[in-house]
Every structure is written in C-alpha cells, then in structure tokens.
Amino acid sequence: MSIHQEYSFFDAVLASFDKAAKFTAWDPGILEQIKQCNSVYRMHFPVKIGDKIEVIKAYRVQHSHHKTPCKGGIRFATTVNLDEVMALAALMTYKCAIVNVPFGGAKGGINIDPKKYTPYELEKITRRYTHELIKKNFIGPGTDVPAPDYGTGEREMSWILDTYTSMKPGEIDALGCVTGKPVSQGGVRGRREATGLGVFYGIREICAMPDLMEKAGLPAGVEGKRVIVQGLGNVGYHAAKFFREGGAKVIALAEFEGAIFNEEGLNEEEVFQHRKKEGTILNFPGATNILHSADALELDCDILIPAALENVINGENAPRIKAKIIGEAANGPLTPEADEIFIKKGILVVPDMYLNAGGVTVSYFEWLKNLSHVRYGRMEKRFTENQNRSILNQMEDLTGKTVNSREKEIIMHGPNEADLVYSGLEETMIGATREITDAWKANPDIPDMRTAAYVVAINKVGTSYAELGIFP
C-alpha cells in the first residue's frame, strides 16, 4: 500500500479541525485547548529477547481530559511514531464525543513488528509496557483505559489486565482498566465484531437517506451494492461479513501482498481461510488477481471501505477513485488533499471518527459491565420471557388462535448480553449518523460530512470544557 505523505498525520487532523472550527462560535482559547494533546508519554524500556537486550520505544498519548477516563487502543507496528499516536489520540476524543461515550481520547503504540516475536516475547514486551503505564498513572479504570488496535487483540488485553490486577491487589474495579478482553476475562459479547458492525450500521443508515443517495447517484438501500474492502484484519473482515449478510456484494478484497476481484462477490471467511493456508490472498479460486494491492482501491464500485491504515488515499490516487461512497473504517485513511478532490468530484466520504466508533462504543459497554460487576441481561432476561409468555397465553385465550412455535420463540425471547450490545450499538450508530447529517443539512456552507462531524464533536467537547468552568 503506497503511503503518499502530504501532511504529518497530526497536522492533517489539525487541518480538518480548523476547517470545521470556522463553523462554530467557540472562543479561540477553547478551540486551542480542544486541539492540543494534554499529556504525552514517550518511553524506552529494555526487554531481554533471546540473549540480547532490546530497547523498545513506546508511547501513550492522552489527548483530552475533558472527560475521564481517557480511552483508546494500543497499536503494535513498526510505523508507530509520536505524530501518529497523537493524531489517533485526537481522533479518539472526537469519536467518543460524537457517539456520546463519556471518555477523553487517548492512544498508545509500541514500535515493534509483532510478527518478529514469539508469543512469550510479546507477552514480556506487553507486560513491561503496562508496568511503565502503571508507574506514571497512565492506566486505570478511572484514568486511562486501553483497548485493541492495529496489531493487538484479546490476548494482549489479557496480559495487560493480568499485569494491572497483580500490581493493584484488591482494586475492586480493576477489570475496567482495559477493554477488548476475552469474554472469560471480563470482556463483553459483541466487542470483537463491534467496529465492523458499526461500519455496516452507519453505511446502512446513509444508504437509507434518499437525498444523499440521489446525490451519490445510487438507489437507496445496501442490498445489491458493489463493495470493495481494503484490509482483512478484524475491522475489514467483519465489515465485509456484515455487508455480505446485508445483501451487498463484496467484489474485491485487498491485503498487503495483493488484492482479488470477483464480480459475483467474495465470501470473507473463505478468503480468510485461503490466506491462512496459502500465506497470500492471491490465487483465490474463481477470483482475478490484482498484483499491486492499491490498484484495487481504484476499481469501479459503489462503496469503498478502507479498513487498514492511514493515508492510503491521497492527492496522488484520489483522482482515479471511482467509488460513489467511501466509508472510512480505518483511522485517517484519507488525507485532507483527498478530501478536497472528493468534494469536487461529489464523492460522499463517511468519516472515520464516527463510522469506526463501534469499537469504542462497545468498549464503553464492556467498561460499564466491569464497573457494575454483572453480565448484561442477567437480571431481566428470565423475567421478560415469563412476562412475554403470559401476554402470549392471554392473547391466544382471548382470540382462540395460536401463534406458531417459531414466532412464539421470537416474541418470548428475553434479551441476552449479545442482543443488548448489538441493539445499543445500532441505536448509537443510527443516532450519530442522524446528528451529523442534520448538522450538515442545517448549514449549506459546510462542504463535507467530515467537517460536519468535526463541528458536532467540537461543539460537544467545547460545551464540556465550558461547563467545567475552565474558561469562564
């Protein structure tokens, strides 16, 4: 994937912020406070790998303390640097504000290639990183709560949890020090697929808006849409899955080593298994190979979903993009120059900081579960089922008719944890989509949906600062 660096990533976030700030009425001091990163922690620590000592470079940035704890993932990649972590932390602040998750934004990163280490070595690195965070009070259920990001997952979150709890014996809310944990370790059902599912809910809502779809030159609805997904990691895989299940056709999938295309549609699970077995996405039965992965972004399609890394669509390749809608599942996949090109071309860009907010939304549900020490649905599931059963029985008695057993099951069903998490996420994504599109429609001078999303976020964070009384 070519990275055409026009801006530093943090500069790009600042540029988008400034573009939107013009449409708000906040005092310049408040705007400046919202923009800056509140605390930046850069660390170097030694880890013994084999018989050598390696010095590992890592970061944790807390962008905003307007609400605490701060929240955001931890990335393991060789591309991790301070600029990137600052940008991603800032995006977390705006993301949380848009979806009404009461956290400030943060992000962490360790500059390593996780593929070069054994699980044992990765565990040592992760545990040492967690120690460093504890030492400086950069982790805790009320201060800063990490989560998975690029290159990390449930396993790393378990190591973080175990390190934290062993250092903080007796801390009753310790489980809430990190999210994205396995369900057996205090995780919540639905967290794994949350970001991809949120992307689907968000785009489905956009596709249901006749005015936006008319502008994009597409019929309403997700069904039958031709979708291209870049990245078959956790986010891309689940986005592809939910689009396929929603009736869309995933015509191309792209990864580092290349991309594959099939006009009839691809099944993400079959492609995933093929890649696992063969070590490459290429040569998938029935599909055409695209040797240069980035070329897949330029194929004709209705919806393009970049779900990998930042800056993949930029001033260089944006003029060749043929999609009608771009849904940013990754953080920062488009540069500000690409945005300008798409405004001119009339391509609808659905911005990252709300579209991929499903992950942090369900992280919030996980954190609440941890603080309440009870699984969702435990108290009310059986009660609801009993109540539904008696309503059904009454209806059948009064009408003399019977409901068939399949329908009966659906009507009686009381919500379990997954049901509640899914419906909470769906409600959040629908609400956020409407809030942003309403703000956009309310001011015809706002050029694009990203700017509208920033306006919504800035207004919420600004209100929060003003209410804290920091700027009387």
Which amino acids are annotated catalytic? 107
CB of 75 to ligand GLU, least distance (A): 8
Q: Is 248 or 326 the residue whose CB approaches ligand GLU more closely?
A: 326
Which among 202, 203, 199 has a CA at the least distance from the CA of 233? 199
149 binds ligand GLU (CB under 6 A): yes
Per-residue string for binding with ligand GLU, 107-126, x by CB under 6 A? --------------------
Residue nearest to ligand GLU (CB): 73
CB of 99 to ligand GLU, least distance (A): 10
**Can you read off the two tokens belonging to residue 359?**
């992950």
User: How many angstroms separate the CA atoms of 27 and 32, rounded?
Assistant: 9
Sheet holding 39-49, edge to edge: 39-49, 52-62, 104-110, 70-76, 144-148
Q: Is 60 or 225 the residue whose CB approaches ligand GLU more closely?
A: 60
User: Which of 246-254, 266-274, 334-342, 353-361 is the region at the interface with ligand GLU (rule: CB under 6 A)?
Assistant: 353-361
User: Which of 17-25, 356-364, 375-383, 395-403 is the region at the interface with ligand GLU (rule: CB under 6 A)?
Assistant: 356-364
Q: Is 71 or 226 the residue whose CB approaches ligand GLU more closely?
A: 71
In whole angstroms, what separates CA 79 from the centre of its chain? 19
Nearest 5°: CA angle at 90, between 167 and 123? 35
360 binds ligand GLU (CB under 6 A): yes
Radius of gyration of the chain (CA): 23
147 binds ligand GLU (CB under 6 A): yes
CB of 73 to ligand GLU, least distance (A): 3
- Would you call 455 exposed, middle or buried from its count of C-beta atoms within 10 A (0-12, 13-18, 19+)? buried
Phi, psi of 350 (to 5 degrees): -95, 115
Interface residue with ligand GLU, options 26, 41, 60, 73 (CB under 6 A): 73
Q: Is 193 or 302 the residue whose CB approaches ligand GLU more closely?
A: 193
Q: Is 91 or 281 the residue whose CB approaches ligand GLU more closely?
A: 91
Which among 326, 366, 365, 331 has a CA at the least distance from the CA of 347? 326
Using CA atoms, how far residue 296 sits from 4, 289, 301, in Å, is: 17, 10, 10
CB 361 within 8 A of CB 340: no
436 binds ligand GLU (CB under 6 A): no
Q: Is 47 or 145 the residue whose CB approaches ligand GLU more closely?
A: 145
Task: Give, as one character, the DSSP assignment of residue 106.
Answer: E
Q: Is 181 or 241 the residue whose CB approaches ligand GLU more closely?
A: 181
In whole angstroms, what separates CA 255 from the centre of its chain? 19
331 binds ligand GLU (CB under 6 A): yes
User: How many angstroms separate the CA atoms of 21 and 319, rounded?
Assistant: 27
Task: Give, as one character, the DSSP assignment of residue 415.
Answer: P
Q: How many chain residues touch ligand GLU (CB under 6 A)?
A: 12
CB 220 within 8 A of CB 210: yes
370 binds ligand GLU (CB under 6 A): no
User: Which of 198-206, 275-283, 286-294, 359-367 is the region at the interface with ligand GLU (rule: CB under 6 A)?
Assistant: 359-367
Per-residue string for binding with ligand GLU, 180-219, x by CB under 6 A? x---------------------------------------
Which among 297, 365, 312 has a CA at the least distance from the CA of 1? 312
User: Which of 56-64, 70-78, 110-118, 257-265 is the region at the interface with ligand GLU (rule: CB under 6 A)?
Assistant: 70-78
Which among 190, 138, 143, 184 has a CA at the least distance from the CA of 162? 184
User: How many angstroms separate the CA atoms of 430 and 424, rounded?
Assistant: 10
- Coil vs helix vs strand at 280: coil
72 binds ligand GLU (CB under 6 A): yes
CB of 44 to ligand GLU, least distance (A): 24
Q: Is 336 or 359 the residue whose CB approaches ligand GLU more closely?
A: 359
User: How many angstroms separate the CA atoms of 41 and 38, rounded?
Assistant: 10
Amino acid present at 284: F
User: Which of 154-162, 182-190, 299-307, 355-363 is the region at the interface with ligand GLU (rule: CB under 6 A)?
Assistant: 355-363
Residues lying near ligand GLU in the complex (CB under 6 A) are found at 71-73, 147, 149, 179-180, 331, 356, 359-360, 363
